[in-house]
Amino acid sequence: MRPVWRQAIAGLRRGSLVGMAATARYDEVADFYVTEMGAGIDDPVTAALLDLAGEVTGRRLLDLACGQGRVARELASRGASVTGVDLSAALIDQARAAEEAHRLGIEYLAGDAGDNDMFDTGSFDGVVCHFGVSDIDDLAATLRTVRRVLRPGGYFVLSLLHPCFPGWTENVSASWPRGSGYFAEGWWRSQAARSLLRRQVGSNHRMISTYLNALVSHDLPIESVVEPPPPSAWLAENPEMDPVPTFLVLRCVAAPIGSA
């Protein structure tokens, strides 16, 4: 019998969607997102994510909330066998187009990260999620999926806007809605002039304790933490401002299920 994810991909090629609604927030802004994010992987946050992923040659990796496949392509170019999944069918189309243009053997699947039936248990050596968790509404379901699909001792590396980020001038929004404060969790949409993506798709703000406790309770204890600094362009534009917590990158290990 074919693995579940191969069955799902086969179904998608027949025109169906697995475990997801027909549209996603990013479907309407896919072209903007691809242009805005670019194809580079040398920014400090992506570099930290790839560094924590470590040597990937011969590894089976899942890129969760893969978008247009920017990180998936880099992992595949380093020798990994990569599957990418994203809720946005429009972004998956972009990723598949890039794969057609330059084949690296990546399989892309449009689906919900919280779908517990999408992948076989223990089918991946590692899972990465680059700036995706704040776009995911059901964090608990996603972390259950992550832990289930990881082999024992596998890893989960994720990056996100730092939950403690207080904003940068009035033009870049904080991690939380203005006027609500850090402790107000929930989905919201930015109005800041330079937070162009979050003005369109919004974001889920969660306290850092919410993320850390959720990871531990889903048998994904933290092994390493990196806090990349603010972009150098921000500091050059506003040299009078003190650097603040801006990004957070974590590496977690798959502990025995039920050990938390």
Segment 20-70, tens digit of pLDDT: 333 588 777 777 777 777 777 888 999 999 999 999 999 999 999 999 999
What pLDDT was estimated at residue 9?
35
pLDDT digits (tens, 9 = 90+) for 158-191: 999 999 998 888 778 888 988 899 999 999 887 7
Domain 4-253 has CATH 3.30.70.3040: no
Residue 143, phi then psi, degrees to nearest 5: -70, -30
Give the Å distances, CA to CA, from 179 to 24, 31, 86, 103, 166. 28, 32, 32, 47, 12
Q: Which residues contact 242 (CB under 8 A, 6 or more apart)?
A: none
- Tell me the pLDDT band of 199, cut-offs 50, 70 and 90: low
Query: Which among 223, 122, 115, 241 has a CA at the least distance from the CA of 172?
Result: 241
| pLDDT top residue among 131 and 3 | 131
What pLDDT was estimated at residue 100?
97
HSE at residue 197, side-chain half, CA atoms within 13 A, is 16
pLDDT at 216 > cutoff 70 = yes
What pLDDT was estimated at residue 6?
38
In the chain, the percentage of residues whose pLDDT exceeds 70 is 88
What pLDDT was estimated at residue 74?
97
